Amino acid sequence: MHIRYLFILVFLLFGLVACSDKKESVNNYEGTFTSEKGGTLIDAMSGEPSNLISMIAGDSASSAISGNIFNKLIKYDKNLELAPELASQWIISNDQKTITFYLKKNLKWADGHDLTSDDVLFTWKLVTDEKTRTPYGSDYKLVDKAEALDPYTFRVNYKKAYAPALDSWASLQILPKHILKDEDINHTFFSRKPTGSSYYKLTQWINGEKLSLEASPSSVMGEPNINQLTSRFIPDTSSQFLELIADNIDLMNINPIQFARVIPSRPDLKNKLALYKELGNSYTYLGFNLKHSPFNDIRVRQAINYALDKQEVIDGVLLGLGEPIASPYKPGTRWSDQNLHPYSYDKNQALKLLHEAGFNDSNHDGILEKDGKPFSFEILTNQNKQREMTAVLIQRRLKDVGIDVKIRVIEWASFVNQFIKTGDFDAVILGWSLSLDPDQYNIWHSSQQKPGQFNFIGYNNKDVDQLLEAGRTELNPDKREKIYHAFSKILLNDSPVVYLYAGYGLTAMNKRIKGIDSPAPPAGISYNSYEWFIPSTLRRNEITP
Amino acid sequence: MKNLRQNPLALSGLLIIITVLFVAIFASWLSPYDPNYIDIQSILLPPSHSHFMGTDGLGRDVFSRMLYGSRISLLVGFVAVGIATLIGTFLGAIAGFYRGYIDSIIMRFVDIMLSIPTFFLILAVIAFLTPSIWNIMIVIGFTSWMGVTRLVRAEFLSLRNREFILAAEAMGASDFRLIYKHLLPNSLTPIIVSSVLGIASAVLTESGLSFLGLGVQAPQSSWGNILTDGKEYIQFAWWLSLFPGLAILITVLGYNLLGEGLRDLLDPKNKNLKK
Amino acid sequence: MLNYLIKRLLWMIPMLIGISLISFFIMHLAPGDITASESSFNPKASEESRQKLRALYNLDKPLMTQYSLWLKRIVKLDFGNSFASHQRPVLWETKDAKGNITRGMIQDALPVTLMINLIGLLIIFALSIFLGVVSAVNQNRWPDRLITIIVFVGFAIPGFWLALLLMYWTGVSHSWLPISGLHSAGFEKMSHIAQYADLLKHLILPVSISSLGGLASISLYVRNGMLDILQQDFITTARAKGLPENKVIYGHALRNTLLPLITIIGLSIPGLIGGSVIGESIFAISGMGKLFFDAVLMRDFPVVMGILTIGSVLTLFGNLIADIGYAWADPRIRRGISN
């Protein structure tokens, strides 16, 4: 009796499944296609955006979406040089303290209102307002006076020349005054129902499920080719990958193993997925606590640098999909000095330096000692697969030269509060972004060592301090280049951190998406995403009611 | 033992447990490689003569890592459940025997513990301490005793007014004797069944914690974190997920089958029946 | 009985305070707060700005002050807003002056979790009772052994592994079932019936995975309970009276076996609102488990405390119902209580 009901239930379920069996359509992705408008691109996001007002949101998901909706005054172009966006040009005064932006004519918000310098001024006031819950206000507070001279002219004065100013204006998304002037920016519907000026406008946002953008007809940038962008929120990357190979999403970020091994080995996947790699925006390093002995000894730091085989780490952790670096700047940009080279892997040199620093294996247990104390330290890192694997490789290489390393992996919030802020660590594996503006005052200047500040390793070098100060007040790119090359050279020699690698950002994209620049320019493949297109013959069958 | 032999399921469960125990004890003898030996020339090799279970993303031998990982799952299971059963039985016995205020206080404490999600407690503790294997065992143990308490108490409550207990009480048996000699043996069934299920779920909990990144941390290997590493490549490097997945499945199954068999064996009612 | 009820209800007040106190302090003693989220480890975000944020959230005040502030609001059923930058209300939607509605986080997450768990619970109980009875009736014969192995395998298999295997098999190799999420791409444009069918298809895998683990313990419970009862005198009497075996099993034995199950149902009520973090992550379903887990990692205190409070209230009521149900059903205990 019961069994029969069970069978009927199972039968029904499978019937339901069977009648929806979709036919596999075979697409021919190769051939030449001309660009056309329309179509939907579906991607996957691991986290859901939090707030589309980027000055308040801190998460990368939010900025990925809001970047499609809002504009900035200026932007970085495909070669990472500053270029016009809302402003057609900008002029720096001779004393380098005043920047004047000239806005393009006839700029419109998506709702038809004019976009003027008033909106820019309004946005600046918001980001510098004490009541605004933004962590990013400090750059803009250096502006002594900001004014909208006329609807197309916006001028800012700084008390003293501030070189990263342009970079800060290339990251501030301009918000509409006419909608927000009576709103509490911290707590407004606008954060989830924005009106912008750029390529797309938000049409749908289902919490926890997906978010859709549609091409905005009044976009100040012109109309993009792809009509609709849908982002599905799928937290688990294994699930994302299954959706990708089942053709339900068009692109996702993949890991080195998927990039180098999984997809190339499977003809069916190779047929429909195109792989792109671009130099990412961050590097991974091993940082020492310079206040702890023996890391206050430059010979010890250099020795560890020589003892680590960076290429091995890149090959092992990233399957070769990364680059060694010798300065905290993105290789290929003007700030990165091509004459600098990473420490080579040289075990003997490492041992020599360690002996000079007073370390010897006097009791022949394989571990070096100094004053009877074995050289043993702990590497802390957060829960990040690649950093964990890196730590394991470092542990082995340092054992070769007689240094005992322990690894400790800690959840992020505890990591920051218990160890970084209190300075209670020997060494960390962490990442810094390869900033587009060369100013790294916050990270390396000796004044930035208070709890919560970013020079938590305690780096202290007078020459570096001077260079960083000089670089901050120099707006001429050629002069800045010299300053930061000099800075990078000292930093490399001092070796307060061991640069491990700058990994590639890896993307797998369904071949129905066309128009992607390959190889990727310095800015990455998505710099021209508005030019991507989906030929109508390759589009998904949209479900009609 | 004779009874156990009559129950093929329980016997196979016991065999599985013994095998896993053997493997765990002799892991260092049986492993062909150092489980942490990295060989980036042989990343993600499929199973072969030199690597029975293939290699992982850093070229480490999965077979050796599985052998060492068996130690972890055994330890996690036994220690965590040992802690939970001790606490649970003790509190449950007291609550069920004395009833009244003592019972109320203990059971309200159980209710409080039950209403705070386990993984919240685990996460909080792990935020304080490193997620090491010892901390994980202790946390699992201290957050899973409530079921045992409830079972023991319920059993005591329903036994408390039975004639044989009342008779023993009337004959002047001490509280301790009543609990230890009369009530506890008659409540053993649920305790054993639940602790065996408990060992099994502790092993599963460890793999779940690994999935969330809160399990035994690299470079130490556990079945849970090998499986979690492998889940990204389920259709490509299948050996990375198949072997730890099967190992967990079979071990947990073994504990469960054994527990079932023991239930039949130890149940006093069954014994009475066979006399 | 009434006295007992009142006593139990009164007990709930100190317990609720106890629960909130314990969770509040555990949460706040764990190092870190919302301003330490990974994205704020950004050289552009200055420490002063983060201090400012901390002050805005009252995180700079002593713990006792923070707790009493929280308690004052919660008494008015005000669960506050999330600390995350979207500042959504924790519990229920709010409307601003212009009529824009911001939906509450629990409001969005709870129905999803509730749906999956309710269906799962029904399936677990229906299947378990059936399997348990078949096992007990065929004790130690092959159907019993087979069922035991099947339910134990279901329990023993790591859920996320099986989930991924099934997703690959049914979703990628065969496109029978959707892989993740709860709705297909064109859901909004579908007819009502198609929408239900679509939802049902999306639910098959998550519900199966979530019920698989619970099958073993409950079917085992039913089986063992049945076996115990079948050995008792009143069953022997019933058999001796010549009652048909069917009636003995379903009429007498099963009914008595199901009594203790009431406790389990009561205990399952809080489980209904707590989702599974792992299942929800794998299947990209935004339920309570994922919401809670993310909030704990982010140190989003209002969300964590909101979920814990609602969870504990439901748990306490669930326990109460279980106890009352058990007492009502078991005459021995009923007598004990009224004494």
Which positions 14-33 of C are in contact with A (Cβ < 8 Å)?
Answer: 30-33
User: Whole-model pTM?
Assistant: 0.86
Q: How many interchain CB pairs under 8 A, A with C?
A: 197
**Which residues in chain A touch residue B236, judged by CB atoms under 8 angstroms apart?**
261-262, 265-266
- Residue A533: CB atoms within 10 Å: 24
Instruction: Extract the residue ranges of chain A whose pLDDT is less than 50.
Output: 1-4, 6, 14-24, 543-545
Q: CA-CA distance, C4 to A399, in Å (whole number)? A: 67
**Which residues in chain A touch residue C37, judged by CB atoms under 8 angstroms apart?**
58-59, 412-413
pLDDT band at B39 (very low <50, low <70, confident <90, very high): confident
For chain A, say whether C102 makes contact (Cβ under 8 Å). Answer: yes
Tokens found for residue B68 = 């060492």
Instruction: Extract the residue ranges of chain C whose pLDDT is less than 70.
Output: 1, 36-46, 267, 270-271, 274-275, 326, 329-339
For chain A, say whether C140 makes contact (Cβ under 8 Å). Answer: no
What is the value of ipTM here, to two decimals?
Answer: 0.83
Nearest to B258 by CA among B204, B205, B203, B197: B197
Residue pLDDT, tens place only, C262-279: 777 776 776 677 668 888
Strand A376-382 to A404-410 pairing: parallel
Q: Is A498 within 8 Å of A290 (Cβ atoms)?
A: no
Q: Which of C33, C45, C286 sits opposite A208 (nearest CB)?
A: C286
Residue B103, in any domain of the structure: yes
Q: CA-CA distance, C287 to B154, in Å (whole number)? A: 33
Neighbours of chain C (3+ CB pairs under 8 A): A, B
Answer yes or no: do B121 and C26 touch at CB < 8 A: yes
Place of tokens 């009431």: C262
Residue pLDDT, tens place only, B49-68: 888 898 888 888 999 999 99
Q: CA-CA distance, B240 to B47, in Å (whole number)? A: 10
- Residue A149: CB atoms within 10 Å: 11
**Which residues in chain C touch residue B224, judged by CB atoms under 8 angstroms apart?**
158
B239-266 helix and B184-211 helix, angle to the nearest 10 degrees: 170
Place of tokens 């001790």: B86
A349 contacts: CB under 8 Å, gap ≥ 6: A303, A306
How many Å lie between the alpha carbon of A417 and the closest alpha carbon of chain B?
11
Residue pLDDT, tens place only, A245-278: 988 999 999 989 889 988 998 888 888 899 999 9
In this predicted structure, what is the pLDDT of residue B271?
43
Determine whether A217 is exposed, middle or buried from the number of CB atoms within 10 Å of its CB (0-12, 13-18, 19+).
exposed
Residue B26, in any domain of the structure: no
Residue pLDDT, tens place only, C103-116: 888 888 888 888 89
Name the residue of chain C whose CA is nearest to A18's CA: C176
Nearest to A497 by CA among A340, A280, A283: A283
Name the residue of chain B whose CA is nearest to A265's CA: B236
Residue B245, in any domain of the structure: yes
Q: How many domains does chain B have?
A: 1
Place of tokens 């698989």: C212
Extended beta strands in A114-193, E state: 143-150, 153-158
Judge whether residue B1 has pLDDT over 60: no
Domain span at residue B90?
Answer: 61-267
For chain A, say whether C165 makes contact (Cβ under 8 Å). Answer: no
The DSSP 8-state label assigned to residue A514 in this structure reads B
Its sign, for the CA torsion A352, A354, A360, A364, is: negative
Collapse the DSSP code of A252 into the 3-class scheme (helix H, G, I; strand E, B; otherwise coil) and give the result: strand
Residue B145, in any domain of the structure: yes
Residue B16, in any domain of the structure: no
Q: CA-CA distance, A242 to A237, in Å (whole number)? A: 9
**Which residues in chain C touch residue A210, judged by CB atoms under 8 angstroms apart?**
181
Answer yes or no: do C308 and B200 touch at CB < 8 A: no
Which of A241, A253, A317, A419 is most worth mutating to test chain B (most B CB atoms within 10 A of its CB)? A241
Answer yes or no: do B127 and C31 touch at CB < 8 A: yes
Q: CA-CA distance, B232 to B44, in Å (whole number)? A: 13
In this predicted structure, what is the pLDDT of residue A259?
92
Mean pLDDT (chain A, rounded): 87
In this predicted structure, what is the pLDDT of residue C217?
79
For chain C, say whether B55 makes contact (Cβ under 8 Å). Answer: no
Collapse the DSSP code of B251 into the 3-class scheme (helix H, G, I; strand E, B; otherwise coil) and give the result: helix
Answer yes or no: do A411 and B127 touch at CB < 8 A: yes
For chain A, say whether C319 makes contact (Cβ under 8 Å). Answer: no
Residue B39, in any domain of the structure: no
Tokens found for residue C179 = 């892989």
Nearest to A432 by CA among A522, A340, A328, A341: A328
Place of tokens 């250096």: A142
- CATH code of B143's domain: 1.10.3720.10
C258 contacts: CB under 8 Å, gap ≥ 6: C129, C222
**Which residues in chain B touch residue C27, judged by CB atoms under 8 angstroms apart?**
124
Q: CA-CA distance, A301 to A350, in Å (whole number)? A: 9
- Cα B253-B258-B264 angle, rounded to 5 deg: 135
In this predicted structure, what is the pLDDT of residue B274?
36
For chain A, say whether C290 makes contact (Cβ under 8 Å). Answer: yes
Nearest to C165 by CA among C149, C186, C182, C179: C179
Q: Which of C39, C81, C280 sits opposite A60 (nearest CB)?
A: C39
Name the residue of chain B whose CA is nearest to C277's CA: B212
